[in-house]
Amino acid sequence: MKKVAAILALLTSAFAASLVSAQSLPTAKPEEVGLSSEKLAQLTAVIKSKIAEGRYPGAVGLVARKGKIAYFEALGVRDPATNAPMTKDAIFRLYSMTKPFVSVATMMLVEEGRILLGDPVSKYLPKLKNLQVSVPRADPVTGRVTYTLVAAEREMTIQDLLRHTSGLAYDFTNHTGVKEAYAKDNVTWNGVTPAEQIDRLAKAPLAHQPGTAWEYSLSTDVLGRVVEVVTGKPLGEVLQERIFNPLRMPDTAFVVPAGKAARIANPFPKDPVSGQEVKLLDVTQVPKNDAGGAGLRNNRGSIIGAFGGSGMTTARLTAIFEREGKGYTALCPQVDVASQGDTIEEATTNLREAVELFFEAADPDEVKRRLKSEVYVTQLEVAIA
């Protein structure tokens, strides 16, 4: 089959959403929305048992279905240093759950024609042009591994950044050559300005040829820098204007103001498994850069309020098209749903209907299995069901 050069956003937008804060969502008994009070009570028991075991100091659990809150509990303590009880409006550090928001902002710019998925990243960040790749080579006799730098066979693209196939990495990569280079040049996401971050990345080699391998990485941080270049605004301002304000997420930002600092949830000072000291971001201080891969702070109510309004919301999924005989096959990989059509337009219409039917019919466990990741469940928020 010949793959058609078309990857686009599939919008399951047949139903409008009422996007309100979690506090204003109506409540319901679990059975009224197809859930089980008994099973949710078991959830509470499990969370309490983990708190008692010392796995974490506290947690906030919220389950909404069909636009109604069926479960909302604050358990344990918000701060083990003070034993202040956990509250439903506690503010948590999102860390890598920042990434989906930055990806959504990027796709908004794609929809507006201001970015193309196939654009080389160097179009927006010229310093990331002509990068080198660190290639490991093992001595056939001694087995000793050395690293050789070769030219990148092609440039990383916006699509590569979105799917973590850019060749970039994190400082905890298993690629020793890149790990050492990152340590030498202090390649990081925290405590550096946007310009410093890109300057340092430009000096370090890639861990893979762009487009050839997936590795969790600083790709979304670089994506944030692209968004800033295209919009001419700091990333935090873009997210506030385009996502957080429209979705009524007032507690989601890159810094927690003084008036909300008392609501910040903190972990134990040492990891209960490894025993290592937990190093936290000081979320009350303005960061040197709005880190697209790890910098946001948020409370649980904002997430569920943004995606769990009455009726259905819009999920931004991916459609991949392939030539199939005289027609086309359209696949939505996140939920493993496919359809066919004589034209791309027909295949898209059929796929949208198939995805909508899936969300209508599937129970939450099936949705979770299809999406294969808590990341999707939380951020694409299959409160669509």
The predicted-structure confidence for 315-351, as pLDDT tens digits, reads as follows: 556 677 777 777 888 777 666 778 888 887 787 778 7
CA–CA gap between residue 329 and residue 350 (Å, rounded): 10
CA–CA gap between residue 157 and residue 119 (Å, rounded): 5
CA–CA gap between residue 152 and residue 212 (Å, rounded): 11
CB atoms within 10 A of CB 108: 18
Residues 116 and 234 in one domain: yes
Amino acid 381: pLDDT: 32
Share of the chain above pLDDT 90, in %: 53
Q: Which residue has the higher pLDDT, 364 or 128?
A: 128
The whole-number average pLDDT for the span 190-199 is 92
Is 47 a domain residue? no
Is 71 a domain residue? no
Interhelix angle 99-111/219-231, nearest 10 degrees = 40
63 pLDDT band, cuts 50/70/90, is very high
Is 63 a domain residue? no
Residues 179 and 326 in one domain: no
Is 127 a domain residue? yes
The whole-number average pLDDT for the span 51-68 is 92
* C-alpha separations of 8 from 28, 224, 377 in Å: 37, 20, 20
Amino acid 364: pLDDT: 58
CA–CA gap between residue 248 and residue 381 (Å, rounded): 15
Share of the chain above pLDDT 70, in %: 80
Calculate ∠ Cα 118-120-122, nearest 5°: 160
Is 40 a domain residue? no
Spatial CA neighbour of 60 closest among 95, 85, 90: 90
Residues 211 and 281 in one domain: yes
Residues 179 and 260 in one domain: yes
Q: Point out the least confidently predicted range of 61-70, 85-94, 254-263, 370-379.
A: 370-379
Containing domain of residue 264, as a range? Answer: 90-297
Each residue's pLDDT tens digit, 351-384: 777 777 776 666 656 665 555 443 332 233 333 3
Residues 220 and 324 in one domain: no
Residues 253 and 349 in one domain: no
**Is the pLDDT assigned to residue 295 strictly greater than 50?**
yes
Residues 128 and 274 in one domain: yes
Q: Cα-atom radius of gyration of the chain, to the nearest Å? A: 22
CATH code of 333's domain: 3.30.160
9 pLDDT band, cuts 50/70/90, is very low
Is 165 a domain residue? yes
Q: Point out the least confidently predicted range of 76-85, 107-116, 203-212, 295-304.
A: 295-304
Could you tell me if 52 and 43 are in contact, meaning their C-beta atoms sit under 8 angstroms apart? no
**Is the pLDDT assigned to residue 41 strictly greater than 50?**
yes
CA 346 distance to own-chain centroid: 30
HSE of 195 in the Cβ direction (CA atoms, 13 Å)?
0
What is the amino acid identity at position 243?
I
What amino acid positions are annotated as catalytic residues?
96
Spatial CA neighbour of 235 closest among 309, 296, 165: 296
Residues 284 and 167 in one domain: yes
Residues 284 and 154 in one domain: yes
Residues 189 and 322 in one domain: no
CATH code of 221's domain: 3.40.710.10
Locate all alpha helices (DSSP H) within 232-318, ordered by sequence. Answer: 235-239, 300-307
CA–CA gap between residue 183 and residue 236 (Å, rounded): 27
Interhelix angle 194-203/176-185, nearest 10 degrees = 140
CA–CA gap between residue 117 and residue 107 (Å, rounded): 9
Is 73 a domain residue? no
Mean pLDDT over the full length of the chain: 82
CB atoms within 10 A of CB 337: 22
Residues 116 and 181 in one domain: yes
**Is the pLDDT assigned to residue 314 strictly greater than 80?**
no
CA–CA gap between residue 292 and residue 243 (Å, rounded): 14
Number of domains in the chain: 2
Each residue's pLDDT tens digit, 140-179: 888 888 899 999 999 999 999 999 999 999 999 999 999 9
Each residue's pLDDT tens digit, 98-114: 999 999 999 999 999 99
Each residue's pLDDT tens digit, 222-250: 999 999 999 999 999 999 999 988 888 88
Is 328 a domain residue? yes
Residues 144 and 227 in one domain: yes
The contacts of residue 201 (CB under 8 Å, 6+ apart) are: 127, 128, 168, 187, 218, 222
Instruction: Write out the two tokens for 184.
Output: 């030498």
Q: Which residue has the higher pLDDT, 138 or 310?
A: 138
